[in-house]
Structure 1
Amino acid sequence: MSKSVFISILEKDEAKGKGLFQTVSRYGLGVNGHFWSDNLEKMEWAGPIAELDRPETGVWLIKGGRASFENPDIRFGLGLLAAAVQARRGLGFPILCICDDGELATAALPTTLRGAEVVEESKLGVKLAAKANMPIKKIDAEYRFDLYALPSLGLWIEVGPAPGHEWNGALLGVCGGEISAHGVGSAGQLPERCVLNYPMKGLKMELGGREFVGWAVKNALGEKDSYFVKVGGTPDALIFGAFPDGDDVELFSLQLR
């Protein structure tokens, strides 16, 4: 199976796109891509999920100017798209970034993009060929995280314990944005009906000087069970994990913007 590269160009520039597609093609790789849309209301960031999930897609390449990488709405969409791709392809799926006009510090990007590699465009072809044809590195996650961007139902976040682990209840909180619904069901699909044990709303927590508002349940979750939360707005960050046991609080956090 010949491998291909999916390209997200953060500014609409036909010449830039044509040149980049030609560079990739010269190295014997298939190429597909799009110009980025930061229309968060329509959740257009989710459009490439199916293409990035194709087994022949070996690399996701993001190219843009520094101002675009620093734009909060673009960052929000890129971070969520990366989360969706990693849920389907694994945390080791290769993501490469080209910054056209300056240095790009991946440590300042949304959490799901901090494993991306910044490359110089002059060295891009060899790097892409190597990355695309290598097996995806397996990285074990400490939790399960996925999302569903449904224009008719909104954005739903799915969290649950990693294989071999259990959670005695679950909690998810947002900093910015809001939560409007939650449920528990089988992993991988939004539940149509569910029974919630001791559902809780409006839990206030503080982490790193920021306030989070969370919802929670006491349902026991195994590796095939998930907690689903409907999130509105554009949260700056999420925290989630097993429901705290007394003063023993261990939650995971994701920076989204």
Structure 2
Amino acid sequence: MQKKIWLSAIGCSKESVQAVMAKLQGYGLAVDGHFFEDDLEKMAWTAPRQQLLDSDVALWLVLGSAASLTLPSVRYGLAMLALMVQAERGSDFPLIILQTEGGAVPSESLPTPFADARILRLADESYAAKVVAAVHTVSSEMRRSPYRLDVYGIANIGQWFEVGPRDSDWQGVIFGVDTGEITLHAVGRAGQLPEKSVLNYPQQGLEVTLGACRFTAWAVQNSLDPSSSYYLKVEGTPEKIMFCPYSSEEETEAYIITLQ
């Protein structure tokens, strides 16, 4: 069966995108894609979610310049889209950045959901062969974190984050943002925004400091298992989020996700 990839083009001309697609098709790949829309107000980053969740798509290819990949709004949109995809397909779903121009973008400078992304240069004549190799070396087992993290961007409902345990139980959860504002929270079934919710000992406006990072957090003490989640509506575009199981102990493992 022909391998398929999805291409997200950022600030590229139609001609340059067509040239990349033609070259990859010449290597036996089926290629489809879209022009990435940098519009956070409309939550345009959600647009290709279903296409990227298609089981026939074996790799996500992001095409853009160094300048476009350093724009905070673009990085945030790509990170949010990546979280949506990785929630379903695992954090090791193959992701390649094909850089069109500019100095090399350091991989360590990318948002957390792009931590495993491979960076190739369009000027490298062998890039297509490397994409083909990546498609054919996909692991049969998805790498899973000890937590679940998903995001939603729904018109008239807003931007929501979902967190919960993957294989254990949490006796509550704390979730914070470094910028932006949490405005609502709820607990409900995993994978579905709840219509109503009962919260145990809800807290708001907690100040959490982790290293050099400071977060404003909300929390609940509802028991969560792999079938239930904590949901939070967030206004704005935080650079970082943090979350951890609620604990009466002074120390608990906390997770920080960079989104820009």
For 1:158, give the aligned amino acid.
Answer: E
| Equivalent-residue separation in structure 2 for 1:148 and 1:128 (angstroms) | 29
Q: Displacement of 1:126 after TM fit?
A: 1.7
Contiguous gaps of at least 5 residues in structure 1 = none
- Kindly report which structure 2 residues correspond to 1:196-215, keeping only aligned pairs within 5 A, or say none: 196-215=199-218
Does the Cα contact within 8 Å between 2:89 and 2:142 map onto a contact in 1? no
Q: Displacement of 1:127 after TM fit?
A: 2.0
Asked if residue 28 in structure 1 is aligned to residue 32 in structure 2, the reply is no
Aligned counterpart, 1:103: 104
| Equivalent-residue separation in structure 2 for 1:53 and 1:84 (angstroms) | 9
For residues 92-138 of structure 1, give each alpha carbon's deviation from its aligned partner in whole angstroms, at most 9, with x where no partner exists: 10000122222121111110101101123322222222222344452
Aligned counterpart, 1:78: 78
For residues 70-106 of structure 1, give each alpha carbon's deviation from its aligned partner in whole angstroms, at most 9, with x where no partner exists: 1000000011111111111111100001222221211
Aligned counterpart, 2:50: 50
% same residue: 37
Q: Which moved more, 1:131-140 or 1:102-111?
A: 131-140
Contiguous gaps of at least 5 residues in structure 2 = none
Q: Displacement of 1:53 after TM fit?
A: 0.4
For residues 26-45 of structure 1, give each alpha carbon's deviation from its aligned partner in whole angstroms, at most 9, with x where no partner exists: 11111111122110000001
Q: Displacement of 1:46 after TM fit?
A: 1.1
| Equivalent-residue separation in structure 1 for 2:92 and 2:213 (angstroms) | 30
Q: Which runs of 4+ in 1 moved over 3 A?
A: 133-137
| Equivalent-residue separation in structure 2 for 1:209 and 1:53 (angstroms) | 36
Asked if residue 14 in structure 1 is aligned to residue 14 in structure 2, the reply is yes
* CA-atom RMSD in angstroms: 1.3
Asked if residue 149 in structure 1 is aligned to residue 150 in structure 2, the reply is no
Asked if residue 166 in structure 1 is aligned to residue 177 in structure 2, the reply is no
| Equivalent-residue separation in structure 1 for 2:144 and 2:37 (angstroms) | 31
Asked if residue 4 in structure 1 is aligned to residue 4 in structure 2, the reply is yes
- Kindly report which structure 2 residues correspond to 1:90-239, keeping only aligned pairs within 5 A, or say none: 90-100=90-100, 101-121=102-122, 122-136=125-139, 137-163=141-167, 165-239=168-242
Q: 3-state DSSP class of the match of 2:17?
A: helix
The TM-score with structure 2 as length reference comes to: 0.95
| Equivalent-residue separation in structure 2 for 1:196 and 1:53 (angstroms) | 32
For residues 153-212 of structure 1, give each alpha carbon's deviation from its aligned partner in whole angstroms, at most 9, with x where no partner exists: 00110000122x111101110010000101111111111122110011111111232321
For 2:56, give the aligned amino acid.
Answer: E
The TM-score with structure 1 as length reference comes to: 0.96
Does the Cα contact within 8 Å between 2:175 and 2:241 map onto a contact in 1? yes
Does the Cα contact within 8 Å between 1:244 and 1:250 map onto a contact in 2? no
